[in-house]
Amino acid sequence: MGKQFYAMLHRMRYISRWGLMRNIQSENITEHSLEVAVIAHALAEIRKTHFASGRRAVDPAQVALLAIFHDASEILTGDLPTPVKYYNPAIQDAYKKVEATASEQLLKLVPDALQPAYRALLLPDRSDPVIDEAMRLVKAADRISALIKCIDEEKAGNREFRRARATIEASIAGIDLPEVKHFMEQELPSFWQSLDELQDSALS
């Protein structure tokens, strides 16, 4: 018999992000999760293509799947604003426990035979070095996605996100992953371009 897991995942679209900020265009966690998956997959492919020597190998498909589900617990917890979530270590640790409990509750909605597969996605085992490395890419992609949101808002004339952009840029600069630096240098600038500029590049 089926359960309610997939219907609950469908409701990710109702969880809005950036709740404390004035948004020109709202963003929900379904949209965010797809963008993080695309970027995380790109980071994994960039590593495999350009920076594989002497580095731990990661499976781009696995990285993308982990990214798709990285915020699934927010169906139950909502999106806690970053200034609150990271206010101090005690709050951060407490929220991680809340996220883990929410993920366990979601797992109860998964059909029994499928629970092992989804446990690996909802509660990834970071004691496994391969999984931990994959999750580093997901976390980096999450930061890049947040930066792109700031860029979109600034392009639309919203000054509300200027300080957030500076803070996120600084956090990304502190990530010691060459594939992240490559993405920031080679791919991120195009997110500032207009549609006409993007199309001109595609046709040139």
- Amino acid 3: pLDDT: 82
Full DSSP string of 89-122? HHHHHHHHHHHHHHHHHHHTTS-GGGHHHHHHHH
Q: Which fold has domain 5-194?
A: Hypothetical protein af1432 (1.10.3210)
Return d(Cα 16, Cα 31) in angstroms, integer.
Answer: 10
Extents of the domains making up the chain: 5-194
Q: pLDDT under 70 in the chain at which residues?
A: 1-2, 80-87
Instruction: Write out pLDDT tens, residues 128-178.
Output: 999 999 999 999 999 999 999 999 999 999 999 999 999 999 999 999 999
- Amino acid 169: pLDDT: 97
pTM of structure: 0.92
Report the first-to-last Cα separation within the chain, whole angstroms.
Answer: 54
